[in-house]
Structures are given as C-alpha cells and as structure tokens.
C-alpha cells in the first residue's frame, strides 16, 4: 500500500466549527428575529452561487436577509456571522504538528463562500499550515461533486493513492475514496490521530 505523502483537510466541522451551516444560520436568525421559513426559501435560491464564488457575501445577504428592512444593519449581521467561527479543540494543533514535521504536503478541500473563507484563513492562521486551498469559491465546484477532488489532485500534481482526505461527512468522503484517496471521517481528535497512525502518518 502506498505511503501517505499528502493530507487534505476539510475546514468546517474538522478544524473549525462550520461557518454558515444549518446550526449557524438558525442561531443568527433567532438572534435577529428573522423568519426562518422565508429565509430558507431565499437561501436555497442563491446558496450554490454563493459557495461557488459567483456572488459576494453582501449580494447573498441582500437577497436572503435584507430584501426587507431590518433593525440590524448589514455590517452588524456580517460581524455576527464571522463571530460564529471557532476552533475545534485539538484540531488546529494536530494540523500544525503535521505541517511542522515537513513530511507531508498539506491542503484543504472545502466548501465555503469567499469572504467567510478569507476571514477564517486570516483569523486562524490557516495560511501558515496550508500552501493550497481547494475551496469551492475559488474553483467553482462543490463537494461532493467529483470535480473538486480531481481539481485538488491536478492542481497539486498528487497521486490519489498517496493522499489522505479528512472530512466529517460520509457523503464528502465517498467521491475521494472512489478516486483512490485514503479517507478519514472526523469524529474526534484522538480518532483522527489513530487512523492517521494506522496509515503510517507520524502524528
């Protein structure tokens, strides 16, 4: 079996909390007393464009939240959105340890909108860990579409059998495994370490 030379991480749900998933949206809507049914219908109309980088965060919010007058301002709402991002205990430390070893090429494969992705990269120092971000807003393809995994391999010129991809969702791991990548479904920090060790990855 090929040794692991490259490790790709999802970000939301693996290294950090999700940026703007179901729980985060529900929290923001409750805080600002926004009708979730109305919001969800508008969200569904533009979420693919938003995560593929085809519309900006302001355009997304003007469509979904600020299509009517609100007591909260656009900037206040964005600030709250950004504040929802938090590090998952132990995960950044794990990624830092792997990056510091110099033994593995490190990258991300993640779905995210441009402004939230940029905020998270800068706030949590992800640029110091990953030389490449294969993010839906940059490449125009979203997980679990096979194209985003192919893009990661082609951009980095990596052999799939020598790559490990870590994600918290089974549906996002299946296409990577189909291409020949080794995969880990993230449940806990210790479990990730154990499965990496089982692949011969020094943690």
Tens digit of pLDDT at every position of the chain (203 positions): 679 999 999 999 999 999 999 999 999 999 999 999 999 999 999 999 999 999 999 999 999 999 999 999 999 999 999 999 999 999 999 999 999 999 999 999 999 999 999 999 999 999 999 999 999 999 999 999 999 999 999 999 999 999 999 999 999 999 999 999 999 999 999 999 999 999 999 88
HSE at residue 52, side-chain half, CA atoms within 13 A, is 12
Quick one: angle between helices 74-83 and 57-64, nearest 10? Answer: 110
Helices and strands in the chain: count of H runs, count of E runs: 10, 5
Pairing of strands 105-110, 132-135: parallel
The CATH class given to the 22-83 domain equals mainly alpha
CATH topology of domain 6-17+87-198: Rossmann fold (3.40.50)
Please state the domain extents for the chain.
6-17+87-198, 22-83
Residues linked to residue 153 through DSSP beta bridges, in sequence order: none
pTM: 0.96
* SS3 per-residue string spanning 83-146: HCCCECCCHHHHHHHHHHHCCCEEEEEECCCHHHHHHHHHHCCHHHCCCEEEEHHHHCCCCCCH
Preceding peptide of 117 cis, ω within 30° = no
- Cβ atoms of 48 and 63 closer than 8 Å: no
CB atoms within 10 A of CB 170: 11
């Amino acid at each position: 079996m090929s040794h692991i030379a490259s490790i790709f991480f999802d970000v939301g749900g693996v290294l950090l909390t999700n940026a703007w998933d179901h729980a985060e949206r529900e929290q923001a809507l409750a805080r600002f007393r926004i009708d979730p049914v109305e919001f969800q219908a508008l969200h569904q109309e533009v979420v693919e464009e938003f995560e593929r980088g085809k519309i900006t965060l302001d355009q997304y919010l003007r469509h979904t939240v600020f299509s009517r007058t609100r007591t909260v301002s656009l900037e206040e709402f964005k600030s709250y959105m950004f504040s929802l991002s938090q590090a998952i205990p132990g995960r950044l430390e794990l990624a830092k340890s792997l990056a510091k070893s110099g033994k593995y090429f490190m990258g991300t494969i993640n779905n995210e909108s441009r402004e939230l992705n940029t905020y998270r990269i800068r706030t949590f120092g992800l640029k110091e860990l990953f030389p490449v971000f294969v993010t839906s807003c940059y490449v125009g393809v979203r997980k679990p579409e096979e194209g985003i995994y192919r893009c990661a391999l082609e951009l980095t010129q990596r052999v799939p059998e020598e790559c490990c991809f870590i994600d918290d969702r089974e549906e996002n791991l299946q296409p990577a495994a189909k291409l020949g990548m080794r995969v880990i479904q993230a449940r806990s920090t210790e479990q990730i370490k154990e499965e990496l060790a089982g692949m011969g990855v020094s943690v």
